[in-house]
């Protein structure tokens, strides 16, 4: 083509989504919410049905030289369950589309489905269909999930209010560090095939990367405690990127404190000592932790203030242009999204 050519890498994933969204109108009355949150929201009487999809492609999202197929199947389900959780919903069904190159055997497909079934069992999700086809090149897994939630309990990215408390579950940065360890190991192995994998000290991080979990436990606990977050998103692209989504969608600013960001001690040590990278940067921009980031009204704080796995990292204010990280030294730094741009320049 001799026409204008713009590179996707310049636009980025979010720019591309905005471009697609700009041309879309919703016509059916059951289409309550379309593009722009963790899942679409479909009307179904007193309940809303949530619909989301995620595609994992070989060589971009996973490297089969160190990713067991069972784990990959498990993770492919988890990333969708996490999107349903982020809308405050319960996942109920998935359909799985597989593109398989002919280097995959029936036994390999069995292993992949073993992981898919394990995740389905763990999260009470039913595998109800899919499409299995061949692919001219690598493995592609695309899963779509349906979830359900009372129509008044749907939690969007857009509901954060001034003075809300910013909460994050679990700990961050582990999945990214796990990936760095796996990649380092792979490079060492390629240089010296007799090398034995050295993963003993890194099991936690490697597990976070290869077999993450979705925080449905937190969704159920919040429901039991009678807490509905005002805004919520799952942390797939890194804390910074997700904070900015809530800020933008809610029209508010967010201030978080560096010393409140939950980082596991093993993650911290491995980042700082073993890999010589800043652990906080990993938490902010690493991604793939699949923890939940949410905001609550201050009146709900008492109910969860002693929760072992929910961390209060900051609060919401009214200046949407001011999203700040307050460092340990008290210095305010603007939060910037690096996220994870998988549309790399060639």
Locate 215 and state its tokens. Answer: 């925080």
Cα-Cα-Cα-Cα dihedral sign, residues 109, 110, 114, 119: positive
The three-state secondary structure class of 39 is coil
> Which residues, at least 6 apart from 139, have a Cβ–Cβ distance to it below 8 Å?
57, 58, 64, 98, 99, 100, 101, 104
Q: How far apart are CA 346 and CA 336, in angstroms?
A: 24
The interface region with its own copies, picked from 128-136, 158-166, 281-289, 325-333 by CB under 8 A, is: 128-136
Identity of the residue, 124 or 298, whose beta carbon is nearer to its own copies in the bound complex: 124
d(CA 147, CA 52): 9
Q: Which of residues 226-285 bind its own copies (CB under 8 A)?
A: none
For its own copies, give the closer residue by CB, 69 or 283: 69
Among 65, 105, 150, 336, binds its own copies (CB under 8 A): 105
Position among 189, 257, 301, 343 found at the interface with its own copies (CB under 8 A): 343
Min CB(117)–its own copies separation in Å: 6
Kindly state the smallest distance separating residue 235's Cβ from its own copies, in Å: 16
Count of residues near its own copies by CB under 8 A: 84
Cβ-count burial of 342 within 10 angstroms (0-12 exposed, 13-18 middle, 19+ buried)? Answer: exposed
Binding mask 33-72 for its own copies (x = CB under 8 A): xxx---xx-x-xx-x-x-xxxxxxxxxxx-----------
CB of residue 115 vs its own copies: minimum separation in angstroms? Answer: 12
| Closest approach of its own copies to the CB of residue 140, in Å | 5
DSSP state of 270: I
Q: Which is nearer to its own copies, 54 or 258 (CB)?
A: 54
User: Does position 107 bind its own copies by CB under 8 A?
Assistant: yes
Among candidates 309, 118, 162, 312, which has minimal Cα distance to 250? 162
Q: Which of these segments, 28-36, 208-216, 218-226, 326-334, binds its own copies (CB under 8 A)? A: 28-36
To its own copies, the closest distance from the beta carbon of 171 in angstroms equals 26
Q: Which of 66, 75, 78, 113 binds its own copies (CB under 8 A)?
A: 113
| Least spacing, CB of residue 16 vs its own copies, in Å | 5
Determine the Cα–Cα distance for residues 28 and 22; give it in Å rounded to an integer. Answer: 18
Where residue 67 falls (left for φ over 0; alpha for ψ -120 to 50; beta otherwise) is beta
Distance CA 119, CA 210 (A): 13
**Footprint of its own copies on 167-226 (CB under 8 A):** none
By CB under 8 A, the residues from 71 to 100 that bind its own copies are: 92-93, 95-100
- Per CB under 8 A, contacts with its own copies among 144-163 are 144, 146, 148
Whether the Cβ atoms of residue 83 and residue 37 lie closer than 8 Å to each other: no
């Amino acid at each position: 083509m001799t026409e204008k050519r713009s590179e996707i890498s310049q636009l980025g994933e979010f720019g591309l989504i905005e471009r697609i969204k700009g041309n879309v109108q919703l016509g059916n009355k059951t289409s309550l919410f379309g593009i722009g949150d963790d899942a679409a929201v479909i009307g179904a009487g007193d309940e809303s049905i949530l619909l989301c999809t995620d595609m994992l492609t070989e060589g971009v999202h996973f490297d089969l030289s160190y990713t067991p197929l069972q784990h990959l199947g498990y993770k492919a389900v988890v990333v969708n369950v996490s999107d349903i959780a982020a809308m405050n919903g319960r996942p109920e069904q998935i359909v799985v589309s597989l593109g398989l190159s002919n280097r995959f055997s029936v036994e390999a497909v069995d292993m992949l489905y073993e992981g898919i079934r394990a995740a389905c069992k763990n999260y009470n999700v039913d595998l109800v269909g899919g499409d299995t086809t061949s692919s001219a090149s690598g493995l592609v897994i695309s899963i779509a999930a349906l979830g359900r939630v009372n129509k008044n309990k749907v939690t969007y990215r857009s509901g954060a209010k001034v003075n809300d408390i910013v909460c994050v579950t679990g700990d961050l940065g582990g999945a990214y560090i796990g990936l760095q360890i796996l990649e380092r190991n792979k490079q060492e192995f390629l240089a010296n095939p007799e090398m034995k994998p050295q993963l003993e000290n890194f099991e936690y991080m490697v597990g976070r990367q290869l077999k993450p979990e979705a925080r449905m436990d937190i969704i159920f606990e919040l429901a039991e405690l009678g807490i509905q977050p005002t805004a919520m998103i799952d942390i797939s692209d890194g804390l910074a990127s997700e904070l900015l989504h809530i800020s933008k969608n809610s029209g508010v600013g967010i201030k978080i404190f560096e010393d409140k960001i939950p980082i596991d001690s093993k993650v911290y040590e491995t980042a700082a000592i073993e890999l010589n990278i800043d652990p906080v940067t990993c938490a902010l921009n690493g991604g793939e932790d699949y923890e939940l980031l949410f905001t609550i009204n201050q009146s709900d704080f008492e109910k969860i203030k002693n929760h072992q796995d929910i961390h209060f990292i900051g609060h919401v204010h009214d200046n949407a242009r001011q999203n700040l990280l307050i460092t340990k030294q008290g210095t305010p730094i603007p939060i910037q999204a690096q996220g994870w741009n998988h549309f790399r320049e060639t």
